[in-house]
Structure 1
Amino acid sequence: MSFIKDFKNRNFDLFEYLPATEVHPHDNFLAVTILRFLPKNITPNKISLFRVCATPFVFLLILFGYYEFGVVSFLLVAFTDALDGSLARTQNKITKFGMLLDPLADKLLIGSMVLLLVFKYLDFWLGIVVLGMEIVFIITAYIYRVKFKTVRMANLWGKMKMFLQVLAICSVLIALVFENQSFLNIANIILGLSVGFALVSLFRHGI
C-alpha cells in the first residue's frame, strides 16, 4: 500500500479531478438508472481496475469451454467500460490516470479475446491487424505521455471501435454456444469494420 501512496504522491497530477468538458446522452441515462445505486466510494478508476482484474477470469472461463458463462461474463466486464466513463463525466471525476487506465483495460480485454478466439475462429490476418492496432495505440499514448506530457483521450471513433470489437467477440461466443457458423461470418465483418474506426481514431489523435 505504501508503494501506491508513493506513486500517487510523485504523480499527484495524474489523480487530480478534472471537470468534464462534455456529457453524452448515454451518460445521463446511466446516471439515473445504474450509477445512482453505486456506493459513494466507487470511483471511475476503481471500475477500470476491476475490468483489468476481471479479464483473466473471463479468459479462463472461455479457455476451458464455459462459453455460456463466458459470454455473460464478457458482456458484464465490457459494460464497465461505459460505466467508468459515464461516472467520471457526470460526477466530474475525470483523472489523467483514468484516461490511461480505461483504454488500457479495454485493450487488455479485447487483446486477450483476440488471442483466444479471433486467431482460432476468425480470419488470422484480421486478428493480426486488430492486435497490431491496439499495440500502436498503446505505444502512441505512451509517447504522448512521456515526451509531450499529455494524455490522449478516447474519442467517438475509438468508442465505436470498442463497441464493434465487443459485438464481434460476442458473435463468436454465440456461434460457439449455438454451434452456428453464420455468427462467425458476421463476426468477421464486424471486426473488419472496427479496423476502419480504429484508423480514423488514430489519425484524430484518439486511443
Structure 2
Amino acid sequence: MNTANKLTIFRMILVPVFMIFLFSDINNAQYIAAAIFILASITDALDGHIARSRNQITNFGKFMDPLADKILVSSALISMIELGKIPAWVVVVIIAREFAITGLRVIAASEGITIAANKLGKIKTITQLIAIIALLFNNYPFRLINLPFDQIMIYVAVFFTIISGIDYIYKNKEVLHSGDR
C-alpha cells in the first residue's frame, strides 16, 4: 500500500474520531474536532499531490479518495444540522449535488470517459471546507466584530456547489445521452 492510499485510509479513520469529539462533553472538544477536521482536510490535498507526483495513482485511490472526502464533508454537514448551525436544506443541496456528479462520473466511466475535477469543483470543495471550519470554530474570530462569516461562507459554498454541479452536467451532457437510441 502506497503513502497516498495510507493517507486516504487515515482520513477515513479520522471521521469517527472527529464525530466523537464533536459531540463530546469534554471541555473544548469542539475545537479538537475542528483540528481533526482540518487535519483530515489537509490529508485530502496531500494524498492527491503525493499520488500524482510519485505516479502512484491506483484504482483503490481513485475509488476511496473521493469517497473519503464525501464521507468527511457529509458527516460534518449533517452534524451541523444536529448542532443547529445550518438548515437541513443546505445539506440536502450539497449532498444531492455530490450524488448527481458521482452518478455522472459512474456513467462516464462505464463509457470509458474520465471526468476530472475542474476549477469550479475545486472552489466548491474549498468553500465547503472553509464554511465547515468556520462553523466548527463558532465563527471565531469573526464573531468578535459581529460578522457572520460562517453563515456567509455556507451560502457561498451552496452557490459554488450548485454552479459547479450545473457546469459538470453541461460540459458532460453527451455522457447522459450516449446510450440513447
TM-score by length of 1: 0.68
- Describe how 1:10-159 pairs up with structure 2 within 5 A: 42-65=2-25, 66-118=29-81, 120-145=84-109, 147-159=110-122
Cα shift at 1:176:
7.3
Residue 151 of structure 2 aligns with an amino acid whose one-letter code is: N
Query: How well do the aligned residues superpose, as a CA RMSD in angstroms?
Result: 2.7
Report if the CA contact (8 A) 1:157-1:200 is conserved.
Answer: yes
Change (3 A) 1:158 1:124: same
Residue 153 of structure 1 aligns with an amino acid whose one-letter code is: A
Q: Distance in 1 between matches of 2:32 and 2:74?
A: 19
Structure 1 residue runs without a partner (length 5+): 1-40
Mapped pair 1:201 → 2:164: yes
Cα shift at 1:169:
0.8
Residue 132 of structure 1 aligns with an amino acid whose one-letter code is: A
Report if the CA contact (8 A) 2:124-2:157 is conserved.
Answer: yes
Change (3 A) 1:95 1:70: same
Cα shift at 1:84:
0.6
Report if the CA contact (8 A) 2:139-2:149 is conserved.
Answer: no
SS of the residue aligned with 2:115?
coil
Cα shift at 1:186:
1.9
Render the CA deviation track for 1:171-191: whole Å, top value 9, x for unaligned.
Answer: 11111788x5957x3222212
Render the CA deviation track for 1:73-128: whole Å, top value 9, x for unaligned.
Answer: 11011110110111012112223432332121111000001110145212332222
Q: Distance in 2 between matches of 1:131 and 1:161?
A: 12
What does residue 133 of structure 2 align with?
170
Report if the CA contact (8 A) 1:67-1:177 is conserved.
Answer: no
TM-score by length of 2: 0.76
What does residue 178 of structure 2 align with?
none
Report if the CA contact (8 A) 2:8-2:68 is conserved.
Answer: yes
